[in-house]
Amino acid sequence: MNRERGMSMVGIAFTAVVVVVVVLVCFRLLPTLIEYWEIRTALSRIVNNPELKNASPQAIRAAFDRQAQVDDITSVQGKDIEIHKQGGELTLSASYFKRVPLAGSVSLCFDFDITAVE
């Protein structure tokens, strides 16, 4: 006698609920991750810009603020950037915290630490 194989209606419903929850969480996280990549890219652009190699910290922060305005970066500002120059090598770093609310009192918390070295 052959047994039937496959998913039952309850199994299909449970799988659908799990998939929907995962997709919704991903939609909530996507803007945070995109902003992280934008900050990382902005810092890399500034570090690799030959015009800013010997610039003052104020000029570097102003360049980041301009880039942040273009890329719609709101979590980090120019004043949050740490600037280190050692032996002619420029290092920029930014650390920030981001809380992403999921549902009710449930949130995901991220601590980002970004460093760009020349």
Band (pLDDT 50/70/90 cuts) for residue 33 is: very high
- Let me know if residue 88 belongs to a domain: yes
Residue range 23-30: mean pLDDT, rounded: 92
User: Could you tell me which of 95, 92, 41 has the C-alpha nearest to residue 68?
Assistant: 41
- Residue 91 backbone dihedrals phi, psi, to 5 degrees: -125, 125
- Let me know if residue 3 belongs to a domain: no
- Let me know if residue 1 belongs to a domain: no
Distances (CA, A) of 55 to 14, 60, 71, 75: 58, 7, 22, 24
Residue range 46-54: mean pLDDT, rounded: 88
* Tens of pLDDT, residues 64-99: 999 999 999 999 999 999 999 888 788 999 999 999
d(CA 92, CA 3): 64
- Let me know if residue 103 belongs to a domain: yes
- Let me know if residue 100 belongs to a domain: yes
- Let me know if residue 39 belongs to a domain: yes
Total number of domains in the chain:
1
Question: Taking the model in full, what pTM does it have?
Answer: 0.81
